[in-house]
Chains A and B, each alone.
Chain A
Amino acid sequence: MSEARAQILAGIRRSLKRGRLESAREAELRERVAGHPRKLVPARATTLDHSSRTDLFVAMAEEVQATVAQVNSSAAVPDEVVRYLAAENLPAELIIAPDPSLDEMPWSERPLLRIRRGRADANDAVSLTPCDVAIAETGTLMLSSGAATPTTLNFLPDTHIVVVHGNQVVATYEDGWDRLRRGGRVPRAINFITGPSRTGDIEQRIELGAHGPRRLHIILVDDRQKAGDGQSK
C-alpha cells in the first residue's frame, strides 16, 4: 500500500490520540454498517395510507415542474405518450429503455411512433424509462443503471418520460435503499431525480433545462381508479 495512505492513516490516529481501533471495536462498527440502522425519518410521507402517499408524490413532483399524467393500465401508456408528444409539439420519435417491464405495452398499436430501444445518443430528443421507486417525501424518482436501464436515457434527451406503477410509490429515500439492497450488487449509478434539470446560476433566476432534460413527464399507472370502481359496485 502507498506511503501516502499509511501516513494519512497514521496521522489520523496520532491526532485522535490512539492507535488502530481494537478488533472488537472494528467488528462492532462493521456490524453497525451491515445493519445500516435508519435514523429519524420525517413523518410527512410515512404516516399516510397508500392512496394519500400517491397524492403526495404527485403534488411534490408537480411542485418542481414535473408533469404527471395518471392512466388506468399499462396498456394505456402508449396512448398517453402520443398525446403528450403531440401536446408538447414534439416529434413522434422515442428511445425506450430495453427493459422487459415496458415490453407488455401495446406499442405496435401506435405505428406512427418511431421507436428505438437502447442507450441514448446525442440525437435522441425523447426517452422513456421505467423507475425503481417513486419517493413521496419530495416527489423524487429513483432510477438505477443496468443492462436494461442505461443512465444516458435519463440525461441526454431534452424530454424524459418515466413510467411509475402505483405499487412503486414509497414514502422515503430509505425505502429506496431497502428496495435496492434486495437486488444484490449495488448498481453503478443510482439517480434520484426531482423535477427537470435547472440552474439558478445567473442572478438566482431558476431556468429549466440547464444540461439535463428540460421536461420531465411522469406517467403514473394507477389502479386506484379501478379499485374504487370495484368497491362502488
Chain B
Amino acid sequence: MLATSRTFEANARAGLGNPILQRALSLMRSGFPERRRLAVERLPEFEALRDIGKSIKDHTLEHLDFYLELFEENVVASGGQVHWARTPDEARHAVLQICRSVDAKVVTKGKSMIAEEIGLNEYLEQNGITPVETDLGEYIIQLRHEPPSHLIAPAIHLMKEQVADTFRAEHRSLDPARSLAEARQLCDEARAVLRPRFLAADVGITGANFLVAETGSCIIVTNEGNGDLTQTLPRVHIVMASLEKLVPTLEDAATLLRLLARSATGQEFSAYTTVSTGPRQPGDLDGPEQYHVVLLDNGRSALLGGEFQDMLRCIRCSACMNHCPVYAAVGGHAYGWVYSGPMGAVLTPSLIGIAEAGHLPNASTFCGQCESVCPVKIPLPKLMRHWRERQFTEKLNPPVYRAGLSLWAWVARQPALYHPLVELACRTFGWFGYRRGRFRTLPLANGWTAVRDMPAPEGRSFQSLWAERQKGGARK
C-alpha cells in the first residue's frame, strides 16, 4: 500500500471537513470507550491481568528465537508448513506460490492487517487471482477500493448510506428497487452475496491474533464467523502472521484473550475464538488439506532490544485509537498507512521509516489515555517522544523549528536568564490576555496559533508561585 503519511496535515484537515466522517466518529466516541469501561468494571482482576499480559509478551520477546523454532517444530509435527519472510515481497511470493501450486482462482480472506501491510490483494489481482474479503467491514472497503481506517472496524469511517450506495453500485444483479435503508438489510445482502464465494474458494487466508508455540496453533478472534468459514471450507488454509504474535502456551493465550475482547469492543468474549492446528486429520469430515503459516518479519526483529521493543507487545485491540482525541477528530485515513491512532503513530515509522511517517508521532496531545487503556501497558506517549527525539537528531524537522527548539533549549539552561524572562512573559501576556483568557494569534507564532488558541497565563510563573509557597510552608 502506498503511504500518504507525509501529507498527514492535509489528510487531517480533509478529515475534519468531512461531515460523514465526523458523524461516524461521533458514534465511535460514544460507543467503544463506554463499552470497554463497563466490561473492565465487571472483572476485578483486569488490572492484574494487564501486568501478567505484559510479562507474558515481554518473556516471549526476550526468547523469541527459541519460541519461533518451537512453534515451527510443532506446526510441522501437526502436518503444516512454516514460510519465513524477511520482507513484504517474500511474504507475497510465498502466498502466490502456494496459490499457484493448487491452481487457485478465488481466495477468500479473513481480516488480516499483515495482508494489508504487504498489499496482498493488489498483488494477487496482478497475478490473476481474485481475493475476496469476507469480514463485512473489509468487504465494504474492498468494494470501495479504500484502506481500512481502524484496526477492528475497518469501515468505521462510513455511515450506512454510503454502504448502501456501494452495494447498489457493485451488486448489479440484484433488484435495483430493493430497500437498503437498514443495517440489517445490508448485513443480509453481504451474507447472501458472500456465501457462494466461501463455498467456491480454493484457498482461505486468515490473519492470526496469537500463535501458540506449545501446539503450533494459530488463534483467530472474530464475531462474524467469516474467519471460520474461510479456514474450514477451502482445500488450503494460509495463516498470515508477524513474528510478535507468538505466545508460549495455551494458558498464556487464555490470559491475553481475557484482555483482548474487553479492550477492543467491550465484549466479555468475542463470539468466535478459534484455535487451528495443522490440516485435516485422518477421519475428519471437513477442514483444509494443507495448512501454511507465513511468518513475516518486515523490520520487527530489528526493534527487539531497543527503545521500541515495547511496541511488539501490541495485541491490536484498538483501545488506544478508541480513546484518542486526535484519532477521534481526524479518523484513521489521515494517518496515511495501514495502522492508525497512537499504535500507528509508533509502529508506522518503525515499518516505513521516520522520514516518511514523521508527522504521526507529532500528532498527539500527550494526554496519556492510550497508555492508560493499553491492555499490555505499552508506554505509547514515551515511544512517540522517542521518535520525536530521533527526528531531531536525524535533522528531519524544518530548519525554523529546529532553530526555535535550540534557542529555547539554550535559554532553558540559563536560570539567570530563564526565570526573569518567563516571569516577564507571564505578566505581560497575562495582562494582555486577561479579558479573553486566550489568544487567537501571537506575534512570531502564527504557525502555532493558526490551528489552536494559546491560553493566557494567570500572570505569575509556576516557579515564582512555587518559591512563594515553599517560603510560606517554612514559616509555618
Contacts and interface: CB of A to CB of B under 8 A. Distances in A.
A143 to B, nearest CB: 10
Given A205-B183, A210-B187, A194 B268 contact: yes
Interface residues of B, number: 102
Interface size class of A (residues with CB under 8 A): 35 or more
A154 B272 CA distance: 10
Contacts of B267: 64, 194
A187 interface: yes
Given A43-B45, A209-B191, A210-B136, A8 B297 contact: yes
Interface in A166-192: 172-174, 177, 185-192
B268 to A, nearest CB: 5
A200 B306 contact: no
Contacts of B233: 152
A38 B251 contact: yes
Nearest to B303: A15
Interface in B276-321: 276-281, 283-287, 295, 297, 301-306
Contacts of A75: none
B270 interface: yes
A199 B194 CA distance: 15
A91 interface: no
Given A39-B255, A202-B136, A213 B63 contact: no
Interface in A102-135: 118-119, 122
B271 A42 contact: no
B340 interface: no
A211 B302 contact: no
B423 interface: no
Contacts, number: 256
A159 interface: no
A207 B243 CA distance: 34
A42 B251 contact: no
Interface stretch (A25-33, A79-87, A217-225): A25-33
Interface in A10-40: 11-13, 15-17, 20-21, 26, 29-30, 32-33, 36-40
Interface stretch (B23-31, B169-177, B386-394): B23-31
B147 interface: no
Nearest to B230: A211
B458 interface: no
Given A150-B286, A203-B160, A212 B232 contact: no
Contacts of A64: 267-268, 271
Contacts of B31: 204
A21 B65 contact: yes
A201 interface: yes
A11 B295 CA distance: 14
Given A32-B248, A188-B276, A193 B271 contact: yes
A4 B84 contact: yes
B65 A9 contact: yes
B115 interface: no
Given A40-B45, A202-B136, A209-B191, A33 B277 contact: no
Output the residue of B68, B69, B186, B269 with the most chain A CB within 10 A.
Answer: B269
A50 interface: no
Contact of A15 (B228, B269, B301): B301
B48 A40 contact: yes
Contact of B225 (A98, A118, A147, A155): A155
Interface stretch (B212-220, B366-374, B396-404): B212-220
Interface of A: 2, 4-5, 7-9, 11-13, 15-17, 20-21, 26, 29-30, 32-33, 36-40, 42-44, 60, 63-64, 98, 118-119, 122, 138-140, 145-147, 150-152, 154-156, 172-174, 177, 185-205, 207, 209-213
Given A138-B269, A192-B275, A202-B163, 15 more contacts: A4-B86, A4-B90, A11-B301, A12-B64, A15-B302, A40-B255, A64-B268, A145-B281, A152-B232, A187-B277, A189-B231, A197-B223, A199-B137, A200-B153, A202-B187
29 contacts: A8-B243, A15-B305, A42-B44, A43-B44, A119-B286, A146-B284, A150-B286, A151-B228, A151-B287, A152-B285, A154-B228, A155-B229, A189-B228, A189-B275, A189-B276, A190-B274, A194-B272, A195-B271, A197-B223, A200-B265, A201-B137, A202-B183, A202-B186, A204-B28, A204-B156, A209-B187, A210-B224, A212-B224, A212-B228
